[in-house]
Chains A and B, each alone.
Chain A
Amino acid sequence: MRRASLWLPFAIFVIFFGVVTYGLIKPSDHVITSKMIGKPLPQFALQPAHDGQAGLTNGAFSGGQPRLLNIFASWCIPCIAEAPVLMQLKSMGVEIDAIAIRDKPEDVARFLERNGNPYTRIGSDTVGKVQISLGSSGVPETFVIDGKGIIRHQHIGDIRADDIPEIMQALEAAK
């Protein structure tokens, strides 16, 4: 018994080693993913956030073609970095709708003027309520919505040039 107990520290270490090895081999992604993936968009109807462009309702996503729903804000720095990539996606024929979070129309206008406007429709979510109902935790964030209004994919953080293939693939899969 006494001899066996001498190996106890070693045994504890072996367990520790096993656990952390697992943690290293399969690193967790540390990202809060939306529980909404695979579910239809929640009901919402947002006022336009930008003069001359339509507002956004969940009904707008049942047109049969997959499209992106981008969540952004004029006050968000990574959104500026993301803007040219969204423009590129648009030029590749991707339709993008947007929700502006806690924004004012004049700020949104200035942001779009400076960084380009890749959006078809922009809804204004002044209190972030729709954002929460989508299971989104920050800006920017982008959802891939299929032609029936079902959320198929979530991209957290800004979309960079390297992420374009991933987004295109998700759009293709949502067809």
Chain B
Amino acid sequence: MIAEAGLGLLWIAAALAIMQLGLGWVAVARGRDEQISGVRAIAVAQGILVTLSFLALILLFLRSDMSVALVAANSHSAKPWLYKFAGTWGNHEGSMLLWVTILGAAGSAVALFERSLKASTLIATLAAQAALSIGFYAFLLFSSNPFTRLVPAPADGQGLNPLLQDPGLAFHPPTLYFGYVGMSVAFSFAVGALVTRDVDPAFARAMRPWVLGAWIFLTLGITAGSYWAYYELGWGGWWFWDPVENASLMPWLATTALLHSVTVLATRDGLRAWTVMLAVVAFSMSMVGTFLVRSGILTSVHSFAVDPTRGSFLLALLAIYIGGAMTLFALRIGTVREGSQFDLVSREGALVVNNLLLSAILGIVFVGTLYPLGVEAVTGEKLSVGPPYFNATAGPITLFLVLVMIAGPLMRWRRDRLAVVVQRLAIPILAIAVALLVLVLVSPDIGILPFMGLLLAGGVALGSLAPLWGRNLRRTPLFTWGMVVAHFGVAVSLAGMASETGFIKEVLIASNVGESHRVGPYDVKFAGLDPVAGPNWTALEATLEARRGNGEPLILKPQSRMFSNPPTETNEAAIRTVLDGQLYLVLGKQEPSGRWQLRMWWKPFVTLIWLGGGMIAFGGFLALVGRFRRDRLSGRGRAIA
């Protein structure tokens, strides 16, 4: 019964979305702003119904209702409840339902809370949001129905991909989806503004919290994804330039650029066309990312739901939405009045450079990700583009971007004098010089990129704090704090990346029980090997004692796990975090000689990478809260006046 109810709710929600689009269309075309209450009510109802439908699916998973095909294929009654819950979106149909649910809920939120936008633009925005939803409803209802029954019902399910049985990964996809779909709202705003030709600061201010919110989730999602890949895949790296990773990096880059240009539009009324373009591009990248991951046309170590037929459906949606929005952009943006002008040496100028550099990196990643596919289409040859390409191309631009990041916040809006800017930059420049000196003295041969990275990290750290200089800290607005924290987070991440890359120690050995090996500052003794069993796996577990100097030994227990349902082998790395880095140990296979492969890394300050990622997201959160607070205060001010 629950499954049928869920499906029914989905149909009704889809019908409401069609009404929302139709009524909105008519209202905008005939210039009837008073229709707004009707469109709003429909948007809210649609959001509620689709959310209930998703809750129905969650319930089916929690109850292990094996008569539903999706549950039987992706769950198992013996699974811990958390993974039953996460299993809801740990598969293609469920994740698409989650996607359309967030889409609907976001539309409801816009309908309920958006008050500053002009009525006609708001109607157009809600209609655009409904148009997005309709495509995904059609996708769910006609090609990937999550509520299909299975007759006869099997006694038990097939389980969830064991790689996904991890609390971190259980919540990684929804985090990213919140980011992706948050961008859908920015996209709808952009389309709405293009339809009514209303690209102005009010539109930017309405769009900004959505961009900021989506960006926070994307940042968290990427950071968590990076850490997941780092400890779960057992490879010991934190970024692989894997197509799936790039799929979330590309929207993040576009959103980061958008976040900065929307601020220019909201406060200085500049960069109108750019901002609209970036809003369209950012959501396009979200959809392209989803498409690349879901269609399986790119080979990746972790692409999950691989199915070309679904790929074609998604591709058709891409063509309609992105192609449509870009056509609309090309046709309409010419009629949008230019915003206000500014000098090259100014805060706006720095933000434009920031935008261009971010776009350049985005282009590099985009080309690198799709190049193999393009080459195969033209010449039929198979090749892969690996980290060397990305590091060599994106690395230097990133460092240059970081340089601009130091200077940008220290410049004035509209116009500034170069000499004065240089003067303000004195402290960061001095910091870089000192860091340079220290590094040359301490370790002259760590490679150019990590070297530059460490230097710039120092500069960014100081540069990011500079806007607080000479201010009354308690009166500094919360969003300024947000910027400071986020930029400081970049410095922290950068320091972690550079330090890990520059000072890493790696050992790969074959070892008998009882032997000791040295990695970085640690002596690691292979103390024992025992079989262990978990709820749905068996494993071999090594016991390793890591000793630094004469201190107490750290006990680490990496495992090599066998899952029976479905048969899969995973390596559970043992990671121990200490103050100045991480010890990362992996148990490999047994060699014919009877010795065991051990892979050991000492990674100095590697945790800074994710700490920085968290700080960046937290900075975004502070800025978001700051904006809301200011809006509420100014709203109250208006009410009193």
A interface residues (Cβ-Cβ under 8 A, vs B): 2-3, 6-7, 9-10, 13-14, 16-24, 27-28, 30, 77, 102, 126-127
Contacts and interface: CB of A to CB of B under 8 A. Distances in A.
Contacts of B323: 10, 13-14, 17
Contacts of A21: 315
B326 A9 contact: yes
A77 B592 contact: no
Interface stretch (B276-284, B415-423, B428-436): B276-284
Contacts of A77: 567
A2 B374 CA distance: 28
B376 A23 contact: yes
Nearest to A7: B330
A18 to B, nearest CB: 8
A104 B418 CA distance: 76
23 contacts: A6-B329, A6-B333, A7-B330, A9-B326, A9-B329, A10-B329, A10-B330, A13-B322, A17-B318, A17-B319, A19-B373, A19-B374, A20-B295, A20-B373, A22-B373, A23-B373, A23-B376, A23-B377, A24-B312, A27-B296, A28-B299, A28-B376, A102-B592
A28 B382 contact: yes
**Which of B297, B370, B373, B592 lies at the interface centre, i.e. has the most chain A CB atoms within 10 A of its CB?**
B297
Contacts of B296: 27
B270 interface: no
B308 interface: yes
B152 interface: no
A126 to B, nearest CB: 7
Nearest to A103: B592
A77 B45 CA distance: 51
Contacts of A17: 315, 318-319, 323
Contacts of A10: 323, 326-327, 329-330
A126 B94 CA distance: 46
A-B pairs, top 3 by smallest CB distance, nearest first, are: A23-B297, A10-B326, A22-B377
A27 B326 contact: no
A21 B311 CA distance: 9
Given A24-B312, A27-B308, A19 B370 contact: yes
Nearest to A30: B299
Nearest to A78: B567
A127 B591 CA distance: 10
Contacts of A102: 592
Interface in B283-311: 284, 288, 291, 295-299, 308, 311
B308 A24 contact: yes
Of residues A20, A21, A28, A126, which shows the largest number of chain B Cβ atoms within 10 Å of its Cβ? A20
A20 B291 contact: yes
A28 B300 CA distance: 13
A7 B277 CA distance: 11
B388 interface: no
B592 A24 contact: no
B551 interface: no
A18 B377 CA distance: 9
Nearest to A127: B592
Contacts of A9: 277, 280-281, 326, 329-330
B514 interface: no
B326 A24 contact: no
A16 B295 CA distance: 14
A133 B345 CA distance: 63
B637 interface: no
Contacts of A18: 377
Nearest to B280: A9
Interface string B377-415: 100001000000000000000000000000000000000
Give the residue among A14, A21, A24 with the most B Cβ atoms within 10 A.
A24
A32 to B, nearest CB: 9
